[in-house]
Amino acid sequence: MPVSADSEQTETPGQSMAVWAEVLYLSNLLIAPGLAFAALLWLYFKRSADMPALALCHLRQAISASLWAGALLVIANLLIILLGGYAAPKTWMIVIIYFTTCHSTLVLLGVLGLSKAMAGQKYVYPLVGRPCD
């Protein structure tokens, strides 16, 4: 079926970069931790000076949420060590609670951020996000 002329969509300035920021955030959580975070930092330090507001907003959200994800992971590991180490039965309880609450929440926020970026809208992550100017 041919596409009608009135259904053509225009891209908001910075939309593709905003989508990339959210994809890298989700990649950092799910596929390539560290590598995707390094790519996020590279984008921020090398390209943020000439980014449109939409892209910069999503990039800052992704970096902030990635830092929070790393901090929560460190806290979970410290809690495991303080409660008896990795051989203790409590370890699995902490791991399961961390993944079902913290990690899955961060992933869902990333998916919501990705959908907002694909729609060309700004999005501020609740609790872990930074305000967009």
At 82-93, the pLDDT tens digits run: 988 888 888 888
Amino acid at 33: P
At 46-81, the pLDDT tens digits run: 998 899 999 999 999 999 999 999 999 999 999 888
User: pLDDT above 90 covers what percent of the chain?
Assistant: 65
49 Cβ partners below 8 Å, 6+ apart? none
Please, what is the average pLDDT of the chain?
90
Of the candidates 97, 93, 117, the one whose C-alpha atom is nearest the C-alpha of residue 105 is: 97
- For residues 117 and 21, the answer to whether their CB atoms sit within 8 Å is yes
